[in-house]
Amino acid sequence: MDKIFLRGMKADTLIGVYDWERTHLQTLVLDLDIGVPEKSAASDDISNTVHYGEVCEAVRNSLYEQDFLLLEVLAEHVAKLILDNFHAQWVRVKIIKPGILPDVKEVGVEIERSKS
């Protein structure tokens, strides 16, 4: 199983179910594991793999332009974005919402999806 990963990627979006959460953008922390085709290691050609710089830019832009109530829906959105637009075979998306609850370091969600 070949993969690339991004750890601690920050992205801003409007997220939350409480009125006070919906008044300003929040910074989320994402960890992404992206399954790449085995041929990725066969050459030094970027077109044979997943360009993680483009993934990062696409995810950040998409989240900035939209708003969500639930982290689960946001994670599904990110997974679909990656699977539909890159050469990803599968993806694991972990989203952390730091400091949102008193005396809780972080809350979040993690999902895994693959191409059908």
**Residues involved in catalysis:** 97
Using alpha carbons, select from 74, 73, 84 the residue that is nearest to residue 50. Answer: 84
Structure tokens belonging to residue 23 = 């008044």
Q: Which residues pair with 15 in a beta bridge?
A: 68
Q: Which long-range contacts (CB under 8 A, 24 or more apart) does 101-110 make?
A: 106/29, 107/71, 108/71, 109/71, 109/72, 109/75, 110/75
